[in-house]
Amino acid sequence: MPAVTADPYPFPFDPKACALLVIDMQRDFLEPGGFGAALGNDVSHLRRAIEPNRRLLAAWRAAGLPVLHTREGHAPDLADLPAAKHRRAQGDVLRIGDVGPMGRILVQGEPGHALIPELAALPGETVIDKPGKGAFHATGLQASLEQLGVRQLVVTGVTTEICVQSTVREANDRGYDCLVPSDCTASYFPEFHAAALQMIAAQGGILGWVSHSDHLLKTLSDL
Ligand code: TIU
């Protein structure tokens, strides 16, 4: 699908107020044996977003702009795991908190909960642990953004239609302008990826902007 943009009103990029928010690039979603695979998904679909994120992160860091990462997961006692979220899976599979090949599925501190090594956080970058799909729900994300003076977000990561889109919707309602680089996000379902991006950019950018990361890399190199 070609990138959908909300042009002719371009993303009003302000380097003094824009942060990169990388959603849930965790081993549990991107590597075999984790939560994504336990849900019955083919993790290879997500891995195509790794290299574009690596390039964008390098350029973002070189420009000295703020980077925040999120990790979806739960406390070891699962006190922050709603029963409804725990129940939902297809058939007789590993569930959140069960022991899988990368430790307990989607539990903080376990090997599978970590960010993938290719996109590990650097010292000084904020890492937000989130129990839900949206990154604002039950986290300190909004306070961190306010402390940084951030009013715009470039949102990348996985999966497009679940945690990325949930976060963009939450951010939109809180007054943030969001840009989603289409190649820096991915879904286990390519058709959902395409549809989620269209939903964000349709109706004149009802939820935000979508474009290829090459445009952003060019903008960053011109700073
Ligand atoms: N299953 C799925 O597509 N996603 C999630 O469960 N979490 C995130 O998107 N991070």
pLDDT value for 93: 79
Classify residue 182 by its DSSP letter: G
- Render pLDDT for 61-71 as a digit per residue (tens, 0 to 9): 999 999 999 99
Specify the ligand 1 atom closest to the Cα of 162.
9
- Render pLDDT for 120-176 as a digit per residue (tens, 0 to 9): 999 999 999 999 999 999 999 999 999 999 999 999 999 999 999 999 999 999 999
Catalytic-role residue among 28, 130, 183, 184: 130
Ligand 1: centre distance to CA 16 (Å): 31
Which of 39, 42, 81, 90 best tests ligand 1's pocket when mutated (most atoms within 8 Å of CB)? 39
> Which protein residues are within 6 Å of ligand 1, measured from CB?
24, 29, 39, 72, 133, 158-159, 162-163, 188
Q: How much is the mean pLDDT over the chain?
A: 94
CA–CA separation, 154 and 192 (whole Å)? 20
Ligand 1: centre distance to CA 41 (Å): 10
User: Catalytic: 24?
Assistant: yes
Which secondary-structure segment (H or E) carries 160?
none
User: Domain residue spans in the chain?
Assistant: 4-73+114-221
Its pTM surpasses 0.85: yes
Evaluate whether 43 touches 28 at the Cβ level (below 8 Å): no
Per-residue confidence at 9, pLDDT binned at 50, 70, 90?
low
Ligand 1: centre distance to CA 167 (Å): 12
Q: How many Cβ atoms from other residues are within 10 Å of residue 40's Cβ?
A: 11
- Does residue 3 surpass a pLDDT of 90? no
Concatenating the DSSP letter of every residue in 75-101 gives: -TT-TT--HHHHH-SSSS---TTSEET
- Does residue 2 surpass a pLDDT of 50? no
Fold adopted by 4-73+114-221: Rossmann fold (3.40.50)
Tokens found for residue 22: 């990388």
- 3-state class (DSSP) for residue 114: coil
Report the DSSP pairing between strands 177-181 and 185-186: unpaired
